[in-house]
Amino acid sequence: MRVFGVDCGTEFTGYGVVEVDPRGGKLVHRVAGTIRLKKKETTSQRLAQIYAELSALITLYEPEVVAIEEVFFSANAKSALKLGQVRGVAMLAAANCGRPVVEYAPLSIKSAVVGYGLAGKEQVQFMVARLLGLEDKFDSADAADALAIAICHIHTAQTTARTEAPGRAIRKGLGGVPPPPPLNR
C-alpha cells in the first residue's frame, strides 16, 4: 500500500509518501516536502499552484489513496474558510488523478502515530522519524505532519483488515468458530 499524505495550509502545504514494504510490512519513506506559497500572490494563484504541484506529485508517485487532515475547529472563521479552500483543491487534485481521498481528525492522527491524541508537534515528528527510520530533519513541520497523516491511514487500514478478516472467515465457515449446523425441523 502506498499513501500520499497532505497537510493543508494557506502558506505551507506539506506532502509525504509512505508505503508498506510487502516483504516485511515495514513502513518505507518515499518522499516528503513542502509547497511554499508566496504571500504576495492572489488566493486563486496560490490555489492554482497547490493544485498543479499536488497533481504532478500524485501522478509521479502513484499512491493508492490520498489522506488529508479533517478541518479542525477554528475561532477565526476567515482562516477556516481559507484552509477549506486549500483542502478542496487537494481533494480535487486527488480526484482528477483518480485517487480516493480519506480524511482523519488531528486526534486520530496523533493517536495512530504517537499513541496519545494530545501529543505535541515535537513528539509527532520524533515518532514519524522513528517509524520511518529517518535520521535527518524534515523539510518542514508540515512535511512531517503529512507523513504522519499517511502513517495514520496505513495503521488504520491494517487494523481494519485484521479485524474484518476473521469475521469474514467465520461467516464463510473458513476458520475460527465453525458455522452453526443446519436446523432440523
Catalytic residues: 7, 69, 142
Compute how many other C-beta atoms are within 10 angstroms of the C-beta atom of residue 172: 9
Contact 5, 16 (CB under 8 A): yes
Strand ranges, E, within 10-112: 12-20, 27-36, 65-69, 101-104
| DSSP per position, 8-30 | --SSEEEEEEEEE-TTT--EEEE
